[in-house]
Amino acid sequence: MIGPNFQEMRRLMVEGQLKGRGVSDEKVLAAFSKVPRERFVPEDYQQNAYDDYPIPIGNNQTISQPYMVALMTECLALKGEERILEIGTGSGYQMAILAEIAGEVYSVERIEELAKYAETVLSSIGYENCRIKVGDGTLGWEENSPYDGIIVTAGAPNVPKSLIEQLKDGGRLVIPVGGGFSQVLTVVEKKGKSITSRDICGCVFVPLIGKEGWSD
Ligand code: SAM
């Protein structure tokens, strides 16, 4: 029996879901054309890996819709070589996309089982510029700060102060902010003492649970 043609599914996803909706950053499109998303979803969902919606990854968590991952990555406006922090490793897919574009990628995940699985998949593919830590990502990962960019892949009630503190001057923080059921994708920029933020679009994420997020 012939298996699914993931390469072709990936190409169609990039053309239709990303380019078709206005994602135009060549680095982002190249990363999506390369990363094997089917490796980051549970075996039962491999056929659906390139579908236009989030997929369950266990522990009541999801791998986000490809378009949302692309939009958030594009919002960071990466040039390459940056040091990036992700909060919410989940499957590790967003991390792989970032690892294709940036210099170093750090990620914090509160659920140990997910962190371990993501680490295994990322190293089996050969990513050497990724480090994952189990913990409360609302507090960031101070040891490696400051970061050129921070991306939060869970919905927060407010922008965590610790994350703004760990952002480099001139850096960007991309985060869904709002209620428990829907949020607004927000880009926060730090320039000297000035912190500005702009809204991108509505979105729906699982909650960011932690000291500077929602309570468990
Ligand atoms: N970026 C992931 C991917 O590419 O598969 C998807 C992330 S999923 C939508 C959100 C993740 O955020 C979940 O794995 C959840 O456990 C995690 N999370 C929620 N609150 C967190 C916190 N305070 N610190 C770290 N991870 C957190």
170 φ/ψ angles, rounded to the nearest 5 degrees: 90, 0
C-alpha 3 to ligand 1 mean position (Å): 31
What are the structural domains, with CATH classification, of the chain? 6-203 (3.40.50.150)
Quick check: CB of 66 below 6 Å from ligand 1? no
- Residue identifier of the C-alpha nearest atom 24 of ligand 1: 137
Quick check: CB of 115 below 6 Å from ligand 1? no
β-bridge mates for residue 156, sequence order: 177
Which residues are tagged catalytic? 64
Nearest-atom number in ligand 1 for the CA of 137 is 24
Q: How far apart are CA 169 and CA 120, in angstroms?
A: 33
Quick check: CB of 87 below 6 Å from ligand 1? yes
- Residue-level pLDDT, tens digit, the chain, 216 residues: 678 899 999 999 999 999 999 999 999 999 999 999 999 999 999 999 999 999 999 999 999 999 999 999 999 999 999 999 999 999 999 999 999 999 999 999 999 999 999 999 999 999 999 999 999 999 999 999 999 999 999 999 999 999 999 999 999 999 999 999 999 999 999 999 999 999 999 999 999 999 999 998
Q: How far apart are CA 57 and CA 91, in angstroms?
A: 7
Quick check: CB of 138 below 6 Å from ligand 1? yes
